[in-house]
Amino acid sequence: KWSNDGATDGRVSCDPVREQVMYKNTFVFDLKTGKMLSRPTMPNVTDDVAYDKRGYLHVHLNPGFSIPAVVRLNPSAQIANVHESKNGSSFREVPYDYGEGKIGPYNAVWLGALPVRDQPGAKFFQDGIGVNMRGDVAENCNIYYVPKMEELGVAMARAGIDAQLKLGQYVDGNQASRFERHIAELKKRGEEIYSIPRQPGYALCGGTIWTFNASGELRKELAVNAGGSAGGAGMVNGPAIDDEYAVYFVNNRPRVIPNSNSAFLAGHGGVFGVPNDQSKSEPYTMDPFTGTLIKTKPDTFCNFVSENAPIPLEDPPKRTKDVAGGWFEGAEWLYAGASPIVPGGCSCPTQRLHLDWYKRTYVPEAYRHSIGVLDTAGNLILHVGRYGNWDSWSGPNSKIPVGGDGIGIYIARFISGTDNYLVFDDKGERLVVLKLNYHAEETVEIK
């Protein structure tokens, strides 16, 4: 039991080569025995990490506390004395061939980092990194700067803060103002500040995904533009990428039910212990908020097209909206119910999906206390788990068994896995390791 993980801590990343899992970017466990193997020193400060099939660890640095960059490390090449490390990590760097040399805080030296364009905004952290078997990278990059329309990016960066202020809740600082000062300083020095190119119907700020080849060469700038509006919709919760360069990600907009104008779960909100007639009146009218899992077409740009874009679209799509507020052009399929997730500009709480080597997707479904497992075509294979707290966490032998598959889940947020295991964080209370069983196996000769 770890507890007090906060809304964004508790990240899980499995090492498919060594059959290990890194938890909270701090603890490394053996998946078979559960034994804690090490507590490696990681660079300052890291967001998400992901392993590839060679066992390399790709690390997304935090652009607010560190520098905008993704670096690649080799856990098999450890530095005995971390004080001798050139970058503060106990793992040696494996520079990307097309990476760039960078200097981070405390004179951390990186020889070949991916030159990403992450902007810290108000929250600093970015929202995920995905790596396929080859080591190709899909990197979430949040963009807040909109030249000559700065108020759009500022409003998105402040969305979470303003929502708390409106409710009279305590707000810890104002990092949005700090970001504004940072932009002003860059302008004064004449440095380049990245902004999303203007196109009709497209968002100018918010969550984007960029893809890089394993060599570090940029493959697609703005492979996904899921950005949004001043209200904060338009953030990404965790990207993944398969070997055909299709990108998978969760967006904080509810799925619109096809051939209708109703959002998923609209009108189905309620509060336990409150009669149905009362649950339709204030303050019980909040519907469950869920995001949408999206798979893009292979190696194709995917853009959110808004009905209320800063530059209006003259000829919007004729079909029913894909998600609240617009459409995703370039999407292969969409799946409703990804959660926990919030509609505002911050990403607290957040969640991460898992994509296995068979292109099956595992996505958290907090609204129903389960994990959804989908095939590569977006068809639901099964739900794993059902509601259960500490007295239902020991399978069939629990004090209060949950029935079904026997897996009790409070809130699964971060998911990862290997060929043999599925691992998730249960709201900071426990790290759960499930053994995968294959009910049919076939061996073929390779000539």
Distance CA 277, CA 375 (A): 39
Least Cα distance to 236 among 367, 146, 140 occurs for: 140
Q: Report the percentage of the chain scoring pLDDT > 70.
A: 88
Q: In which region does residue 121 sit, left (phi positive, over 0), alpha (psi from -120 to 50) or beta (all else)?
A: left
More confident residue, 284 or 225: 225
Sign of CA dihedral 294, 239, 324, 351: positive
Report, as an integer, the average pLDDT of 282-287: 63
pTM: 0.91
Pinpoint the alpha helices (H) of 273-398: 276-279
CB 378, CB 332: distance < 8 Å:
yes
348-371 tens-digit pLDDT? 788 999 999 999 999 999 999 999
- Coil, helix or strand at residue 361: strand
Distance CA 125, CA 60 (A): 10
Least confident of 276-280, 313-317, 420-424: 276-280
Distance CA 364, CA 46 (A): 23
The predicted pLDDT at position 309 comes to 84
Report, as an integer, the average pLDDT of 201-227: 95
pLDDT at 37 over 90: yes
Under 8 Å CB-to-CB from 283, ≥6 apart: which residues?
Answer: none
Q: How many CB atoms lie within 10 A of CB 111?
A: 15
Q: Is residue 224 part of a domain?
A: yes
184 band by pLDDT with thresholds 50, 70 and 90: confident
Least Cα distance to 46 among 13, 2, 77, 19 occurs for: 13
The predicted pLDDT at position 254 comes to 95
Both tokens of 394, joined, read 């020991």
Least confident of 81-90, 149-158, 166-175: 166-175
Q: Are strands 386-387 and 408-409 parallel, antiparallel or unpaired?
A: parallel
What domain range is 249 assigned to? 24-255+290-343
Q: What is the DSSP letter of 255?
A: B
Q: What is the DSSP letter of 24?
A: T
CB 31, CB 418: distance < 8 Å:
yes
Which H or E run contains 141? strand 137-143
103-155 tens-digit pLDDT? 999 899 999 999 999 998 878 899 999 999 999 999 999 998 888 876 676 66
The predicted pLDDT at position 169 comes to 58
Backbone angles phi, psi at 156, to 5 degrees: -70, -40
Query: Looking at the 3D structure of the chain, how many domains does it have?
Result: 1
239-267 tens-digit pLDDT? 999 999 999 999 999 999 988 889 999 88
Q: Are strands 129-131 and 218-225 parallel, antiparallel or unpaired?
A: unpaired
Q: Is residue 323 part of a domain?
A: yes
Q: Is residue 430 part of a domain?
A: no
Q: Is residue 144 part of a domain?
A: yes
The predicted pLDDT at position 171 comes to 57
pLDDT at 283 over 90: no
The predicted pLDDT at position 229 comes to 66
Q: Is residue 434 part of a domain?
A: no
CA distances in angstroms from 447 to 114, 146, 442, listed in the order given: 38, 56, 16
Report, as an integer, the average pLDDT of 266-277: 75
Report, as an integer, the average pLDDT of 173-198: 79
Q: How many CB atoms lie within 10 A of CB 2?
A: 16
pLDDT at 5 over 70: no
Q: Is residue 441 part of a domain?
A: no
Distance CA 386, CA 447 (A): 45
Mean pLDDT of the chain: 88
CB 59, CB 70: distance < 8 Å:
yes
Q: Are strands 218-225 and 302-306 parallel, antiparallel or unpaired?
A: parallel
The predicted pLDDT at position 121 comes to 83
